[in-house]
Amino acid sequence: MRTLVARLDGDGDVLLAGPAVRAAATAGEVVFLCGPGGVRAAELLPGVTRIIEWECPWIVHPGPDVRAIDIETVTALLHGIRPDVALILTSFHQSPLPLALLLRLAGVPKIVARSIDYPGSLLDVRLRDDPSIPEAERALEVALAAGFQLSDSRLAVVEPPKTELDHPYVVVHPGATAPARTWSPDRWAKAVVALTAAGHRVVVTGGPAEAALTEHVAGACGTDLGGRTSFRELAGVLAGADAVVVGNTGPAHLAAAVGTPVVSLFAPVVPAARWAPHGKHVLLGDQNAPCRDTRARECPVSGHPCLDQVDPAEVVAAVAEVTA
């Protein structure tokens, strides 16, 4: 049996699709359809046998132009895969129906997804939404509705490489694709100083585009790994840490997938009930701030009060709590 699993967002969303992938993999081959921002996470998911990258114009931000030739090409590609069933995994604010239409035109015989809109003949199994369910469990429920079996909703990745860093250490990951979902740089830098003063060795991580940020945050106290690890290598660094301090971004879910406790600087622009790390964690930040549920990428409130009112001493205390 061949299953197509589609999650067209970024790394964190793809990692949260992991339980659904493992469920589908119990019955055979899994082809994973993802956007360019999710490929490196898809490569780490147990059960994925093939990855197809597609920059979907109604999911990727900012969206590319919609061109007939691109739609025709991806439809032909999906037709050539010949999946027996497709699972479309989306966030509550996304519609699965445009992709369901392409899959139907590609001849996919069974399509399963959540949809708040009437799907007509585009879906064979339609699930309603429940805003209280964590995202990983929402994805798994789609797989279960398709007939797959799996009772374990934990996150998981393939075995990451061992890090050469000396233990013990705490990871601080200050970056995020949406600035509203992380702490301000100066607050991160002060947290590194506070953690060091509390006796922790601090390792600061980030992508190639975040090198200036990680250098600032690491300062004279932390070890700066910004731009020096692949995503797979980052998994190894996170796996070796006592705890990870991070905003609401992909590496928070990667830390959960490798079993490392998370201290999450979590802005309430999206609900924590859905998006908090799917493992041992402590949330910091005002979850009732004015930005709540706005889905803002840039903070809509002057001073970023939901997070910047958090004191670095609270981070130190939270690290002590999750590592106790």
Structure confidence at residue 228 (pLDDT): 96
Query: Residues of CATH 3.40.50.2000 domain(s) within the chain?
Result: 2-145, 170-322
- DSSP H/E element including 170: strand 170-173
Give the fold, CATH level 3, of 2-145: Rossmann fold (3.40.50)
Alpha-carbon distance 278 to 262, whole Å?
9
162 SS3 class: coil
The packing angle between helices 185-197 and 312-322, to 10°, is 60
Sign of CA dihedral 248, 252, 253, 254: positive
CA atoms within 13 A on the CB side of 35: 23
**Burial annotation 16-35 (CB, 10 A radius, 16+ → b, else e):** bbbbbbbbbbebebbbbbbb
Alpha-carbon distance 151 to 23, whole Å?
9
Structure confidence at residue 62 (pLDDT): 85
Per-residue pLDDT of the chain (324 residues; tens, 9 = 90+): 999 999 999 999 999 999 999 999 999 999 999 999 999 999 999 999 999 999 999 998 888 899 999 999 999 999 999 999 999 999 888 999 999 999 999 999 999 999 999 999 999 999 988 878 999 999 999 999 999 998 888 999 999 999 999 999 999 999 998 899 999 999 999 999 999 999 999 999 999 999 999 999 999 999 999 999 999 999 999 999 999 999 999 999 999 999 999 999 999 999 999 999 998 999 999 999 999 999 898 988 888 999 999 999 999 999 999 998
Structure confidence at residue 237 (pLDDT): 98
Alpha-carbon distance 155 to 66, whole Å?
34
* Superfamily for domain range 170-322: Glycogen Phosphorylase B; (3.40.50.2000)
Q: N- to C-terminal Cα distance for the chain?
A: 45
CA atoms within 13 A on the CB side of 276: 18
The residues pairing with 55 across neighbouring beta strands, listed in sequence order, are none
Asked whether 175 and 210 are in contact (CB, 8 A), the reply is yes
* ∠ CA 145-35-247, rounded to 5°: 90
String of DSSP letters for 104-155:
HHTT-S-EEEE-SS--TTS-SEEEPP-TTS-HHHHHHHHHHHTT--------
